[in-house]
Amino acid sequence: MAAVGIVVVSHSRPLADAAVELARQMLPNSTLAIEVAAGTDDGGLGTDAVAVSTAITAADSGDGVVVLMDLGSAVMSAETALELLDDDVRARVVLSAAPLVEGLVGAAVVAAGGADRDRVAAEALRGLAPKQAHLG
Amino acid sequence: MATLDTDALGAWVREYARAVTEHRDELTELDSAIGDADHGTNMHRGMTAAVAALDATPPADGAALLKTVAMTMISKVGGTSGPLYGTLFLRMSGALDDGSPAAFAAAFRAGVEGVVARGKAELQDKTMVDALLPAADALTEAVGAGQELDVALRAAADAAARGRDSVTPLVARKGRASYLGERSADHVDPGAESAVLLVEAAAATLGRS
């Protein structure tokens, strides 16, 4: 079983924490690593690429990391964070274009089930499918 | 020949921090018209932290100085300008070489190319790239033609300002301003404005080295 880690990058710490809470509700008793890098260090809105790289390192057990993010600087900070990582860690990281909340819930469920990194990343990208199917 | 050593580059960074602070409200006002109203605040926070980091741990050489500025901007700015300006200083740090005018021009170009790669913006998208690319071109050309550094940096600053002004009438195609579509036309781009300040700060300090 793989132990893929997940990182949530957001402008807002409360937004990221709430998204993680929503995902964890689906994972009773799971020890899945979900790390958050969100907000500025003075509690404001913003992203910090150094914090993102620290979160990726913390979430990485060697089986890879999937990074979910909100918009704007979250995307560029996640890309910049990759530059700050060692080559071997960087090679294990996937930055996901999935919508943050839906992607996180989908990714967390399969990651907690022991799926490998590519499967977790694919599930994140499928995150909008249930809502799209329902709304038609 | 002028050498862009730790003192010279430190003076540039400090002058940019001063200019960003002086223009903080103006940058935020420009950003409130077509963005999320944080550019002046973010740049002020980032550059103030960069100067504090240089004061706390004096860097060993010019490359280390630029790297400290880069890492501080990446970490402290909060908005998109953090990774963008951080990448500019980081790539410059890696390409500074001997600090000669030619090396500085090449390093500045490497920094600007880093911004282009990071932001995936092209000319006329109405971003900082519209000020930075013409500045890099002018600097490379003037230094290559054997101009004194102060003359070359003046040309670069003027090119940056012309680039910023050239995109003011346009509709933004990148960043938060692009959400506004036509409403972004006829506004000065805040990122282009802060980029002009960066090159102006270089002309005011490095040209005298």
Q: What residue of A is the nearest CA neighbor of B116?
A: A76
CATH class of B6-208: mainly alpha
How crowded is residue B165: how many other Cβ atoms within 10 Å of its Cβ?
14
Alpha carbon distance B62, B91 (integer Å): 13
List pLDDT tens digits, range A4-62. 999 999 999 999 999 999 999 999 899 999 999 999 988 899 999 999 999 999 999 99
Q: Which two tokens stand for residue B8?
A: 């010279």
Instruction: Check whether B27 has a pLDDT greater than 90.
Output: yes
Alpha carbons within 13 angstroms on the beta-carbon side of residue A10 total: 17
The two beta strands, A65-69 and A93-95, are parallel
- B74 CB neighbours in chain A (<8 A) are 48-50, 77, 80, 84
pLDDT value, residue B36: 86
| Candidates B74, B175, B176; nearest CB to A80 | B74
Query: To 10 degrees, the CA torsion angle through A14, A16, A20, A23?
Result: 110
Chain B nearest-CA distance from A8, in A, is 16
Share the mean pLDDT of chain B. 95
What DSSP string runs through A26-93? T-TT----EEEEES-TTSSS-B-HHHHHHHHHHH-SSS-EEEEE-STHHHHHHHHHHHHS-HHHHTTE
pLDDT at position B17 is 98
Per-domain boundaries in chain B: 6-208
| A48/B78 touch (CB, cutoff 8 Å), yes or no | yes
Best interface-test mutation with A: which of B74, B87, B116, B128 has the largest number of A CBs within 10 A?
B74
Q: Nearest Cβ partner of B78 from A40, A79, A83?
A: A40
The per-residue pLDDT for B175 is 84
pTM above 0.90, yes or no: yes
pLDDT confidence of residue B185 = 94
**pLDDT over 90 (residue B86):** yes
Q: Give residue B188's pLDDT.
A: 95
Write out pLDDT tens, residues A48-101. 999 999 999 999 999 999 999 999 899 999 999 999 999 999 999 999 999 999
Environment class of B88 (CB within 10 Å of its CB; exposed 0-12, middle 13-18, buried 19+) = buried
Q: CB count, 10 Å around CB of A13?
A: 16
- Judge: A48–B76 Cβ closer than 8 Å, yes or no: yes
Among B124, B24, B119, smallest CA distance to B81 is for B119
Could you give the residue numbers annotated as active site of A? 11
pLDDT at B91: 96
- Portion 93-132 of A in contact with B at CB < 8 A: none
pLDDT in tens, B149-208: 999 999 999 999 999 999 999 999 998 888 898 999 999 999 999 999 999 999 999 987
What is the predicted ipTM? 0.88
3-class secondary-structure state, position B127: coil
Q: What pLDDT score was predicted for residue B35?
A: 86
CA angle B50, B202, B131 (to 5 degrees): 95
Q: Which of A45, A46, A79 sits opposite B118 (nearest CB)?
A: A79
**Chain B residues within 8 Å of chain A (Cβ atoms):** 38, 42, 45, 71, 74-84, 86-87, 90, 118-119, 175-176
Contact indicator for B192, B127 with CB cutoff of 8 Å: yes
Residues of B in contact with A40 (CB under 8 A): 45, 76, 78
Which amino acid makes up residue A11?
A: H
Q: How many CB atoms sit inside 10 A of residue B196's CB?
A: 26
Q: How many residues does chain B have?
A: 209
Mind listing the pLDDT tens digit for each residue in A102-128?
999 999 999 999 999 999 999 999 999
Give the whole-angstrom CA distance, residue B185 versus residue B98.
Answer: 42
> Per the structure block, which two tokens stand in for B175?
């960043």
Chain A: closest CA distance from residue B160 (Å): 24
Are A82 and A90 in contact by the 8 Å Cβ rule? The answer is: yes
The label of the residue with tokens 């990726």 reads A56
Residue B209 has pLDDT above 70, yes or no: no
For chain A, give the mean pLDDT. 96
Residue B155: predicted pLDDT = 98
- Residue A26 contacts residue A6 (beta carbons within 8 Å): no
Residue type, B73: M
- Token readout for A123 is 């599930």
Q: Is A17 exposed, middle or buried (0-12, 13-18, 19+ CB in 10 A)?
A: middle
